[in-house]
């Protein structure tokens, strides 16, 4: 069951990663003209990603919280015994950043509520960029930890 949930957690993280990266690119590096792939990638209606990104963030977070105890027992204990401190540290940083990011979601929703509101432009860029970096870091760190010692690995 834990492995199944871990896979769902990973798939949701992929969806979140895609949506948030689209939104971040669109707001930080808006397309001036429609042309090639990079312009088309940035020429999305960024505000439309907001609710989906919040939903995926919360769902991925909750699933991660559900499968955390098996990780704590089966994986982290092994990582500590193996003295792989930097791997353990990667995960520690991930959990702290994600928790702080979770509480930023209402503000993230607020700054995207009216994307034409110029008074929030700077906050919109920063908030989206911070969440995007948190999610990218967490995705990579989670992958590394899983590759070092997957759940139930022997």
Partner 1 sequence: MNVTKVFGLFAAVFAIAYTIAFEWHWELFSYHPRTGEFGWGQQASKGGPVMHWYGAIATGFVAALAVSAAALPFTKTRSLPLWLGWAVPLACILVWGWLLRGFFLR
Contact residues: partner 1, CB under 8 A: 65, 68-70, 72-73, 76-77, 85-86, 88-90, 92-93, 95-97, 99-104, 106-107, 109-111, 113, 119-120, 122-123, 126-127, 130, 134
Q: Which is nearer to partner 1, 1 or 103 (CB)?
A: 103
CA angle, corner 40, sides to 39 and 44, nearest 5? 110
CB-nearer residue toward partner 1: 14 or 121: 121
Q: Provide the minimum distance between the beta carbon of 144 and partner 1 in the complex, in angstroms, as a whole number.
A: 13
**Ramachandran area for residue 83 (φ above 0: left; ψ -120 to 50: alpha; else beta):** left
Q: Tell me whether residue 43 or residue 130 sits nearer to partner 1 (CB atom).
A: 130
Nearer to partner 1 among residue 43 and residue 129 (C-beta): 129
CB 94 within 8 A of CB 142: yes
Q: Are 53 and 86 in contact (CB under 8 A)?
A: no
- Closest CB 16 distance from partner 1, rounded Å: 18
Task: In whole angstroms, give the CA distance from residue 75 to residue 77.
Answer: 5
CB of 154 to partner 1, least distance (A): 19
* CB of 113 vs partner 1, minimal distance in Å: 8
Q: Mapping DSSP to helix (H, G, I), strand (E, B) and coil, where does residue 2 land? A: helix
Tokens of 116: 């034409």
Contact 67, 5 (CB under 8 A): yes
Nearer to partner 1 by C-beta: 33 or 103? 103
- Give min distance, CB of 34 to partner 1, in A: 30
Give dist(CA 137, CA 97) in Å, integer: 9
């Amino acid at each position: 069951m834990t492995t199944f949930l871990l896979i769902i957690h990973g798939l949701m993280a992929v969806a979140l990663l895609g949506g948030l990266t689209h939104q971040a690119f669109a707001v930080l590096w808006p397309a001036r003209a429609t042309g090639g792939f990079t312009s088309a990638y940035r020429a999305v209606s960024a505000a439309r990603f907001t609710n989906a990104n919040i939903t995926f963030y919360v769902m991925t977070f909750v699933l991660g919280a559900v499968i955390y105890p098996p990780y704590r027992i089966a994986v982290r204990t092994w990582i500590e015994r193996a003295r792989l401190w930097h791997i353990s540290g990667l995960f520690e940083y991930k959990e702290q950043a994600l928790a702080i990011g979770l509480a930023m979601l209402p503000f993230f929703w607020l700054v995207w509520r009216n994307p034409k509101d110029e008074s929030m432009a700077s906050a919109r860029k920063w908030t989206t960029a911070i969440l995007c970096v948190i999610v990218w870091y967490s995705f990579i760190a989670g992958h590394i930890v899983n590759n070092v010692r997957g759940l139930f690995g022997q």
